[in-house]
Amino acid sequence: MEAVRVKALRCPACGGNLELDQQNPNIETCQQCQAKYTIQWNRSSETGQEEALLKPLPKRIAYEPVPEVKKKKSGWEPYGWKRGVALVIAFFVIMGAMYGPKIYQRYQMDHGGAAVEETVEDEAR
């Protein structure tokens, strides 16, 4: 982009008033279109007057921090609570599938099976 020479501090794009940036004294901001310019004062060799040399700043390097958009937590993040609960439930489901039948068999031997043993003992007498 070409630098624009202006005598008054006016926005070359829209003619609005330029004001010094509060946080960066080398940057002028147009009050009308929010365009930013770096400013350089040059003494003209012809007229001997100060001239402001304005260079338009690309908007993408504007210093304003982009407000961070905070996503609402769904709970399914890597350490989200829903995922944690789902993992615990999955753990018990797998443990139940693996050991459930064995526990049931053991229960049958201790309780249901006891009656069978009694009858066997009765027959032996």
DSSP β-bridge partners for residue 4: 54
- The yes or no reply on residue 38 touching Zn ion (CB under 5 A) is no
- Contact segment (CB under 5 A) with Zn ion among 27-35, 37-45, 60-68, 100-108 equals 27-35
**From residue 3 to residue 22, what is the string marking binding to Zn ion with x (rule CB under 5 A)?**
--------x-xx-x------
- The yes or no reply on residue 32 touching Zn ion (CB under 5 A) is yes
Smaller CB separation from Zn ion, 32 or 50:
32
Q: How many residues bind Zn ion (CB under 5 A)?
A: 8
β-pair type (4-6, 18-20):
unpaired
Smaller CB separation from Zn ion, 13 or 39:
13
Question: Using the rule CB under 5 A, which residue among 27, 28, 29, 30 binds Zn ion?
Answer: 30
- Contact segment (CB under 5 A) with Zn ion among 35-43, 77-85, 94-102, 103-111 equals 35-43
**Alpha carbon 25 to chain centroid distance?**
32
Which residues of this protein are in contact with Zn ion, per CB under 5 A?
Answer: 11, 13-14, 16, 30, 32-33, 35
